[in-house]
Amino acid sequence: MIDQQLREETEKWLARIKEKKNNVVAKDEKAKEHLKNMEAYISDSEYFLKKGDLVRAFEAVVWAWAILDMLEKLELVEWKC
């Protein structure tokens, strides 16, 4: 039961960040580097999810969100929409 809940939460947050990342634009080169790191964490989360490593999958998506949140708060990104 807990495994299913963790999988569902991870999938939910992965879907949301994948949608959101399509609307974000870096303001400078440093922000672009951070967005690449965010993409890597998204990819890692998908990989771990496929392998059934649910804790690492969730952890990776949380890191991806943390990067996006930081960039937004520091006003290093803009939104297309």
Question: Residue 15 above 80 pLDDT?
Answer: yes
pLDDT score of 81 more than 90: no
For the cut 90, the answer to whether the pLDDT of residue 44 exceeds it is: yes
Percent of the chain with pLDDT over 90: 95
- The 8 Å CB, 24+ separation contacts for 51-54 are 54/3, 54/6, 54/7, 54/10
pLDDT band at 2 (very low <50, low <70, confident <90, very high): confident
Domain ranges across the chain: 2-79
How many residues are present in the chain?
Answer: 81
Domain 2-79 has CATH 3.40.50.970: no
- Closest Cα partner for 68 from 44, 26, 35, 30? 35
